Homo-oligomer: A and B are copies of this chain.
C-alpha cells in the first residue's frame, strides 16, 4: 500500500473541480507541483476536468493505472466513493473531506473503516490536509509546496503542517514526505512511523500530535523509528485541565502531560515545545554533521548579539569555554589587535571573509561546534563572509551553524550558505539552542538503551502470577512486599500490651508503633504513629494510647517496627495512566518533592539502568548521592527497588495505584517505611471508591495508610 500512497503510477481526484472549489485548489497544487497531467484524472458525475486534466464519470473509465484517489466529495458519499475506487483497483485514498468524527459523525467514519476492512483499500484522513512526496512530485495537499529534502512531517493538525511547510519553503528546509492524517480513521501515526522508519528518503521525522490511542503500541512504533533516525515530537495540549484525577500521592503529583513526557523520552524521541524549535532541530539534523560535544565557540562581528548567544548557550547546557592559550596565540597571529580573543570571538564590524575563514578553521580544531554570527549593516556585503564560513566548515568537518541577520540585508548571503549546506538560524540564540539538543541526541544515541517500557513489554515471563492479599492493611501489604523481594523492615503485630512488649523486645529498642484499623486512613492525623519508643514501659503506655485512638472503630492491634535512623527518605509509587497504563514514579523525598513536583516518571516497567536515570534526574539527587556532608545512600539498592516495583502491576494486574512512602535509603540497603495500595475497582476485597477520604493527598506523611475500607 505504501507505493500506492506515496509513489502512485496515476492519481484520481474524486470530486468537483469548479473554480474556487477545494478540488480545484488540490488539482492546481498537483499540476503546479509537476505531477504529469497525463497521469492525473478527475472523477465526478459530470466528468468535468480542469487545468488540462481530463475528467471522467468514474475511476474505471479513466483508463489509467490509478493507485491513489484524492477524495473531496461530500462526507455522506465518501464510503461509496471508496468502495468504487477499491473496485476499480485503487489501493490508497486520501480523504480531504471533513464532517466525520470531529463533529460527531462517528457512523460515517465507521463506514469508511468498514470499506477498508472489506476491500483492503487504505485511507489517510478523513478531515485531513493531504500528503506530499516531494521526490515523486506528488502534492495532493492544500498547504504550501515545500522544496525537496529529507525531513518528513506527520501532523494531526493540517494547519500546523501548513505553517511548517510555509517556513520550509521560506527558509529552504527540504521536505521528503508530509502527511496530514486528520482523524486517522484507518492509517494513523503508528503506521506512518513504521513506514518512515524504513523510508530511505527520510532522514529526520517530525511529528505533531495532540493525543494518541493505544499508548503502548505508539511507544513501540516510536521507539523503533527513533532507533533509526531522529524523531522530533510536539505533543500539544499540555494544560492543567488535562491533569489526571487520581487517588494516590505520587499519581496526584504527576500531571498527565508528565507521563507523555516520560513516554516520549523513553522512546528516544526529542520532545520540543514549539514549531520554531521543531523547525530548528530538523534544520540542524539535516544540515549539520553530528554534534559530538558541548564546547561551542561563537565567532561574531558584533558584541551584543554574541553575548546574547553566549548567555543562551550556557542556559541550554553548552559550554562557552575560553580558547586555550595556544589557540589565542594562533589567533593573535592573524587577527587585528582590536578583536576580542575571548569566547565569543568578536571580529568586529571590520570582520572579513578571510577573518571568518581563518578564525573558524583555527577554533574548530579545539571546539565541538561553532556558531558564525553576522549582524550586517546595510552597507556590508555579507556574501564574502558566508564564503569564509562555508570554507572553514568544509575544511573542519565539524558542525557550524550560521546566524546571519537581519533577513532583508543578508538574503543573498543566506542563499549562498544554504546552497553550500550551512544552515542559517533566525538568531544566534536559536542556533545554540538547536546545537544543544543535537549534542544531547548524539551523546545518547549510541549509549541509549531503550527500556522495556519503550518496547511495550507488558508482563515478565509467565504473565500475571499472583493476586493481592485479601487484606490490604499495612502489615499484610508489608508481608506481601517482602514475598515479592522488596526489602521491608522486620515487623511484628500485637493484639495486646503483653504481645506488644514481647514483639518490641524481639525487634530490639527503640521501636516504632502504629495503630492498625481499616477505618483509620491517616494514622498520623489520628495520633496513630508513635516513634522512638525506648523501653517496655513506653510500649505498654503506647499500646494503651493507640487503643484509645482506635476506640469506637475496628481496632486490629498494632504493628511494631525497629526505628530506622540515619536514613534519607524518598518515595516510590505506581499509578495507571489512561493512555500508557502502569507508570512508576520516584520522588527524592521531603516536602519540596511536592512543592516542586520533583518527581521522575517512567512508563513501567523499567530496568535498573532506567531506574538509576530516574534517581539522577531529580533535583535532590545530589543529596542522596552524599552532597553537603551527608553519608551517601545506597543508590544501587534503591534502583533495584524501583525496578522491582515497576514490575508489580504486571504480576498483580489488580494494582491501580501504590505509594511506598517513605522508603528509607540507608548507607547500606533500603527499607520500605510504609505502604498504601489502591486496587482496581473490580478488586475482590474492596471498593476503593467508597473510601471516605482516599483522595486526600494534602500531607505526605499521612499518605501511609491503605485507603481501603476493608
Contact = CB atoms under 8 A, between A and B. Distances in A.
Interface of A: 25, 98-99, 102-103, 129, 142-144, 155-160, 162-163, 166-167, 169-170, 208, 210, 234, 236-240, 273-276, 301-305, 307-308, 310-312, 314-315, 320, 337-338, 348-349, 375-379, 405-409, 427, 429, 590-592, 594-596, 619-620, 622-623, 628-629, 698-700
Contact of A596 (B169, B305, B596): B596
A108 to B, nearest CB: 13
B236 A304 contact: yes
Contacts of A348: 98
A307 B379 contact: no
Contacts of A308: 160, 234, 236, 274-275
A25 to B, nearest CB: 4
A158 to B, nearest CB: 7
B311 A239 contact: yes
13 contacts: A102-B338, A142-B377, A143-B378, A144-B406, A160-B304, A163-B406, A166-B405, A236-B307, A238-B315, A239-B320, A240-B314, A275-B308, A628-B699
B305 A157 contact: yes
Contact of A163 (B98, B155, B375): B375
B304 A155 contact: yes
Contacts of A320: 239
Contact of A208 (B157, B304, B377, B409): B304
Of all A-B residue pairs in the complex, the 4 with the closest CB atoms, nearest first, are: A157-B304, A159-B302, A166-B406, A160-B304
Contacts of A408: 166, 169-170
Given A379-B142, A427-B276, A307 B210 contact: yes
A210 B162 contact: no
Contacts of A234: 308
A590 to B, nearest CB: 7
A168 to B, nearest CB: 10
Nearest to A350: B98
The count of identical subunits is 2
Given A239-B311, A304-B208, A375 B159 contact: yes
A278 B98 CA distance: 40
Contacts of A379: 25, 142
A502 B188 CA distance: 82
Contacts of A699: 628-629
B163 A405 contact: yes
Contacts of A700: 628
Contacts of A167: 406
Contacts of A103: 337-338
Nearest to A410: B166
Nearest to A304: B157
Which one of A170, A238, A337, A376 has the greatest number of beta carbons of chain B within 10 Å? A238
Contacts of A628: 591, 594, 698-700
Contact of A159 (B208, B238, B304, B592): B304
Contacts of A142: 377-379
Given A239-B310, A320-B239, A375 B623 contact: no
Contacts of A590: 590, 592
A260 to B, nearest CB: 12
Contacts of A378: 25, 142-144
A638 B210 CA distance: 46
Given A338-B98, A592-B592, A314 B239 contact: yes
